[in-house]
Amino acid sequence: MPTKADFDRISDRLAEQAIELPSWAFGNSGTRFRVFSQPGVPRDPFEKIADAAQVHKHTGLAPTVALHIPWDKVDSYGDLRKHAEDHGVGLGTINSNTFQDEDYKLGSVTHVDDRIRQKAIDHHFECIDVMNETGSRDLKIWLADGTNYPGQDDMRGRQDRLADSLAKIYERIGENQRLVLEYKFFEPAFYHTDVPDWGTSYAQVAALGDRAVVCLDTGHHAPGTNIEFIVMQLLRLGKLGSFDFNSRFYADDDLIVGAADPFQLFRILVEVVRGGGYGKDSDVAFMLDQCHNIEDKIPGQIRSVLNVQEMTARALLVDRDRLGAAQRAGNVLEAHEILNDAFYTDVRPFLAEWRESRGLPADPMKAYAESGYGATIAADRVGGNQAGWGA
């Protein structure tokens, strides 16, 4: 089993971890049935940033915040950027939204109507303009496009229109920016989704160029999918751009990462580390994409980044030399036991010491609860319209 000395060996590598937070995680959210409101929920992007900064303050793990356009539209992105910096964080990925406009009922960048398709492309141009103001590197595109019934539309034609639209958007991004294409196997389209899997996303971004990569959302797969295999393959191909970490029991539940299957999260991070996707020399972005429907927003995000950190520590503790020797010898049980030894190591005491050595609270959840911040925003944020994801 890994020891304290083993943990000391990975201590510096843990300091390389950065997990981007989604601004929308701090707003009201829910399901198709109900969106529940909470006291103290942000009323504008500036308050979202302030709340996200609390996560970084207590964990040291979340230095940037992703924005969603138009949910996070403001008059001055320069002011929002300075506001973020004043709170000790930066602005990160810009996420487009082509799934909440009446025109997009039958598709956006894949729509057969040239006017609607151009409208969706123009929205992405707007997002790129925002990136230029915020200093963001990544434009992340998730599409609700697809069909509900056989024969509803020409699937091949939609792929051709998708490729054409993405090429126009890709041509607009800067030399130091990336187009990140996310996939999801179903919902809200149920017969077919235009970007349903990693293979489709890979095929589309590979045709664009080096600055186009794939986003893997851990909740966007069918039950039983070997996600760590996909992680391995995309790293092998040099096309894994980012993660959207969350957790699901059935489908795209968007729950706290690691809640449903901690061992799966561990296995994914084992492949991330093994494939060179972790650390200061990697371009792979660690991100969260979660909605806290019934739990408090800020503690939910703190718990999430801590879960990722804990499983990253365990993944870094895997004895690679022993594992490689067992694999080469065909020793099936020993190889599996080596993974289990790392997974079952309780890294929490080590991480508490590690945080204290860096001036962070040993127990971020407790420190936040005792800070009084939650009570303060509940008292102060009265009036106005609470932020949400618009559903």
CATH number of the structural domain spanning residue 179: 3.20.20.150
288 secondary structure, DSSP code: B
pTM of the model: 0.96
Pairing assessment for the beta strands 286-287 and 192-193 based on DSSP bridges = unpaired
Give ∠ CA 13-284-223 in degrees, rounded to 5. Answer: 105
Judged on CB neighbours under 10 Å (0-12, 13-18, 19+), 191 is middle
Task: Quote the tokens at residue 25.
Answer: 């995680």
Residue 286 forms beta bridges with which residues? 19
Residue 99 lies in a domain: yes
Per the CB < 8 A criterion, the answer to whether 376 and 27 are in contact is no
Residue 390 lies in a domain: no
The continuous run of DSSP H or E covering 138 comes out as strand 138-141
Pairing assessment for the beta strands 192-193 and 64-68 based on DSSP bridges = unpaired
φ, ψ dihedrals at 371, nearest 5°: -75, -25
Residue 314 lies in a domain: no
What is the count of structural domains for the chain?
A: 1
pLDDT by 10-residue block (mean), the chain, 391 residues: 88 97 94 87 97 98 98 97 98 97 98 98 98 98 98 98 98 98 96 98 98 97 96 98 96 93 98 97 96 94 98 98 98 98 97 98 98 97 84 41
Task: Quote the tokens at residue 143.
Answer: 């599409």
Give ∠ CA 152-155-159 in degrees, rounded to 5. Answer: 140
Q: Is the peptide bond before 262 cis (omega within 30 degrees of 0)?
A: no
Find all residues with CB under 8 Å of 111, minimum gap 6, and list them: 103, 104, 117, 120, 145, 161
The SS3 call for residue 66 is strand
CA distance 190 to 121: 24
Residue 387 lies in a domain: no
Residue 342 lies in a domain: no
147 secondary structure, DSSP code: E
Residue 30 forms beta bridges with which residues? 35
Residue 214 forms beta bridges with which residues? 181, 240
CA distance 107 to 267: 35
Residue 142 lies in a domain: yes
CA distance 277 to 388: 32
Residue 198 lies in a domain: yes
Residue for token digits 């809640």?
A: 259
Half-sphere exposure at residue 1, Cβ-oriented, CA atoms within 13 angstroms: 7
CA distance 168 to 208: 10
Sign of CA dihedral 156, 162, 168, 172: negative
φ, ψ dihedrals at 66, nearest 5°: -80, 145
Question: What count of other Cβ atoms lies within 10 Å of the Cβ of residue 276?
Answer: 15
Alpha helices in 135-226 (DSSP H): 155-172, 198-208
Residue 378 lies in a domain: no
Give the model's pLDDT for residue 391. 41
Judged on CB neighbours under 10 Å (0-12, 13-18, 19+), 333 is exposed
Find all residues with CB under 8 Å of 44, minimum gap 6, and list them: 74, 384, 387
Pairing assessment for the beta strands 35-36 and 240-244 based on DSSP bridges = unpaired
Mind giving me the DSSP string for 215-283?
A: EEETTSS-TT--HHHHHHHHHHTT-EEEEEB-B-SSSS--B-TTSS-HHHHHHHHHHHHHTT-SSTT--
Helices and strands per DSSP (H, E), number in the chain: 14, 12
Range of the domain at 31: 16-308
